[in-house]
Chain A
Amino acid sequence: APPEWDWRKKGAVTEVKDQGMCGSCWAFSVTGNVEGQWFLNQGTLLSLSEQELLDCDKTDKACLGGLPSNAYTAIKNLGGLETEDDYSYQGHVQTCSFSAQRAKVYINDSVELSKNENKMAAWLAQKGPISVAINAFGMQFYRHGIAHPLRPLCSPWLIDHAVLLVGYGNRSNTPYWAIKNSWGSNWGEEGYYYLYRGSGACGVNTMASSAVVN
């Protein structure tokens, strides 16, 4: 892997979004990944609809939570994702109003990624932002800097928040993952969370995945 990488500087990442009072992080993590995959494979950055997943992915539970692996299947089975403009976010579940005619992107498949963080970094630099899930310990009060909680307090077995890895690097010799969150730009570092890289901190390496766009 290159020593550092940031997909935000390469135009592969949309603006930070806000899930509101709804446990829909899984939808934001997946749409962020698909936005990146579509940009890298088709050349256009589109902001995609999380509300479509809340309403139409019946395997997941909308604001009560969901799994990226199910969401990829839902996108594939539905026939794609509409854009944020066409199917805008409401923050609560509604009747599914997906239209295949309005869908702007599709995915062909989804894959699980290595749990080795060096391999994750190499994959990210070459293939695009990665959907991951982490233990959100301390994030309620996070303001800025690289978080590195003690392992017993941020167990990799207690995963409760899905986010998007968009880059990595080092700040003053401290390796980090740059993580796009979905709590609005008035949280963290303009909506981003920086987490220590290399020790599986908060389970960042346990549930890495991506859509495949051919």
Chain B
Amino acid sequence: VPAKPRADDEQAWDLSPPELLAPARFALDMYNYGRAAGMRAVLGAVRGRVRRVGRGSLFSLEATMEEPPCNDPLVCLLPVTKKTMLCSFEVLDELGKHMLLRRDCGPVNTKATEYGNETFSSFLPMLNKDPLPQDFSVKMATVFEDFMKTYNRTYESKEETQWRLTVFTRNMVRAQKIQALDRGTAQYGITKFSDLTEEEFYTIYLNPLLQKEPGRKMSLAKPVDDL
């Protein structure tokens, strides 16, 4: 039972586990999205708070995720141990529809976090505290529909569409943070890559060899003023 009545939009209050079930299950589904059966993490401990945002509720969850042990000796690092991840999620529940706004995960007992997810937190904590506009998820869904039309996107299933909407929403927040930190005149926002996770974008479009391999040594060019 909430410790306080749901009257004050600014107040957050702690939740009992039953109330966390729906948002935590949604966060877990999103965490496991795309994984094969047997490779999915299971929810460990979970605690959370909620605050009212417009017509919805914003859940801030902290949860441990128990990753399955690695069974492939060609892939696993030794010694094989069960890995526990500590995650914080922000899940918006608006009119019964859930949307994952933030996901930061890292191994328990280390400060390392998932690639890129925490990059900005220390710079812009205020962005995580700003209240969300009313009907945020509805507006974001409309923007996402426009994106799909503009870039001719189709997805294989309802689940994938939901997942891409979640990625798109998180990316809009990321673009906003990049914008805030840019010292030039650049504008960041929706591009044809806005429905890709950072990891997908890196894997598909970028070139990791540039930082890993030295390449062939070339002779130095003569400066033009020597010509």
Contact = CB atoms under 8 A, between A and B. Distances in A.
Interface of A: 19, 21-23, 25-26, 60-61, 64-70, 72-73, 109-114, 119, 122-123, 125-127, 133, 136-138, 140-150, 153, 157-162, 171-172, 174, 183-184, 186-187, 194, 196, 207, 209-210
Contacts of B174: 141
A112 B220 contact: yes
Interface SS of B by simple majority: loop
12 contacts: A21-B205, A69-B218, A113-B220, A114-B221, A119-B224, A141-B189, A142-B188, A145-B184, A148-B186, A149-B181, A150-B181, A150-B183
Given A73-B216, A122-B225, A187-B192, A23 B185 contact: no
Nearest to A193: B186
B210 A133 contact: yes
B23 to A, nearest CB: 27
B189 to A, nearest CB: 5
Contact of B207 (A114, A125, A142, A161): A161
A186 B147 CA distance: 13
A141 B211 contact: no
Q: SS class of chain A's interface: helix, strand, loop or mixed?
A: mixed
Interface string B197-208: 010011011111
**Of residues B189, B192, B193, B224, which shows the largest number of chain A Cβ atoms within 10 Å of its Cβ?**
B224
Interface of B: 119, 123, 171, 174-175, 178, 181-194, 196, 198, 201-202, 204-211, 213, 215-221, 223-225, 227
Given A65-B209, A160-B207, A138 B188 contact: yes
Sorted nearest first, the 10 A-B pairs with minimum C-beta distance are: A148-B184, A65-B209, A111-B221, A69-B215, A141-B175, A65-B207, A67-B215, A145-B186, A147-B186, A145-B185
Contacts of B181: 149-150, 153
A9 B198 CA distance: 35
Nearest to B202: A160
B119 A194 contact: no
Contacts, number: 163
Contacts of B182: 138, 147-150
A21 to B, nearest CB: 5
Greatest chain B CB density within 10 A among A67, A111, A150, A172 is at A67
Contact of B209 (A60, A125, A144): A60
B215 A149 contact: no
Nearest to A127: B224
A195 B213 CA distance: 25
B122 to A, nearest CB: 10
A119 B225 CA distance: 9
A73 B223 CA distance: 22
A23 B211 CA distance: 14
Nearest to B119: A153
B203 to A, nearest CB: 8
A122 B223 contact: yes
Given A122-B225, A140-B196, A25 B207 contact: yes
Contacts of B123: 150
Contacts of B218: 69, 72, 110-112, 209
Contacts of A21: 204-205
Nearest to B172: A141
Contact of B211 (A61, A143, A157): A157
Given A73-B216, A143-B188, A145-B186, A138 B208 contact: no
Contacts of A141: 171, 174-175, 178, 188-191, 193-194
A191 to B, nearest CB: 12
Given A69-B218, A126-B224, A64 B186 contact: no
Given A69-B218, A73-B216, A140-B196, A161 B186 contact: no
Contacts of B207: 23, 25-26, 65-66, 133, 160-162
Contacts of B190: 141, 143
Given A140-B194, A187-B191, 5 more contacts: A25-B206, A70-B216, A113-B221, A133-B210, A160-B211
Contact of B219 (A70, A112, A126, A207): A112
